[in-house]
Amino acid sequence: MELLDGEDLADLLEREGRIAAAQAVQLLLPIAHALATAHAQNIVHRDVKPENIFLVHDEVAVIPKLLDFGIARMVDNPRKLTVEGSALGTPDYMSPEQARGEPPTEQADLWSFCVVLYEALTGTCPFDGENYNALMRSIIEDTPPTIATHGVDEPQLQAILERGLEKKKEERWPTMRELGEELALWLEERGIAEDIMGTSIYRTWLRDPEVNTRTDLSAMAPLPRSDAGARMAFDSGPQSTRRSRRTGAESVPVIVGQPSTPEVALANAPALAASEPELKAIAEIHEGGDPVEVLEREQRKRNWMVVVALTLIVVAGTFVLLVGTGIIIL
């Protein structure tokens, strides 16, 4: 099981209160990518919340990971393991259809993601109630306060959130991918070229020319890397707030930003001036498949060879011993 060193988003928000708008979007874009990837496989998470967004600290960046697929389900899966009509998820982040016990779709995850983004921007959830029933009524009926009422003067971001928090799922963003593209465009218009991991938002979200209808990115020079938000406030807090978390059998992380093929790896790699021999060397490494799998296969082969060799030595030694004692006469 993977050991994650860092803290979850809930801990960060408890310590910092809120996150600056651009940094919040940079932080949550990889989670949007993780959800879009899950949705492409017809998997709905159903419990997107700050506690399930873990911020891994490595040497150069912060890597957000989406954890706890414990109540996830396959859309249109004939083998249903939950009772139809039951409300599953954390109440504050439930969509109206989840609150009503309707079958979940990716729109439920999209709603929850927007609630998390709203909370990251403002330090508070958009819906509130004195008890569970009051909270469910607020989610189903109330219009949340704008982020401007919490001091966040970002009209375009407010418009993105408003559409993501529409009561009718048909009126929200059609897919998580389209919501992510809109957030990426919002960052790009502010001169920010990368998400919190340093991954190019252009390569990840805006590469399709049909997506970007506002700016001709092909005519733009590459934007310089912005390191202002790379570490954010994550390392400013006391070390005691950092902790390790081991993912369990029902905490299946969607690892964002990890290419599954050499072609994807090269397509998503940073824009470095790689030489032809270097590219050829990378291709040769991946000729036999994933390098880790190749090494594992070679190790298994060596283990079998050692077992066979030891077996032959034991058989030969036993045979020589039996011949020497006269038990076997040649």
Residues classed as catalytic: 47
Structure tokens of 177? Answer: 């991918």
Query: Which helix (H) or strand (E) is 79 found in, with range?
Result: none
Instruction: For strands 3-8 and 243-246, give the pairing.
Output: antiparallel
Pick the closest to residue 253 from 25, 18, 43, 23 (CA basis). 43
CA 54 centroid distance within chain: 9
Pick the closest to residue 38 from 62, 67, 10 (CA basis). 67
- Tally of CA atoms within 13 A in the half-sphere of 252 that contains its CB: 13
Query: Which helix (H) or strand (E) is 261 found in, with range?
Result: none
225: Cβ contacts below 8 Å, ≥ 6 apart = 193, 194, 198
Q: Is the Cβ–Cβ distance between 254 and 37 less than 8 Å?
A: yes
Residue at 86: amino acid letter: S
DSSP assignment of 113-162: HHHHHHHHHHSS-S---SSHHHHHHHHHHPPPPPGGGGT---HHHHHHHH
Dist CA 51 CA 46 (whole Å):
13
Beta bridge partners, 246, equal 3
Structure tokens of 64? Answer: 């957000």
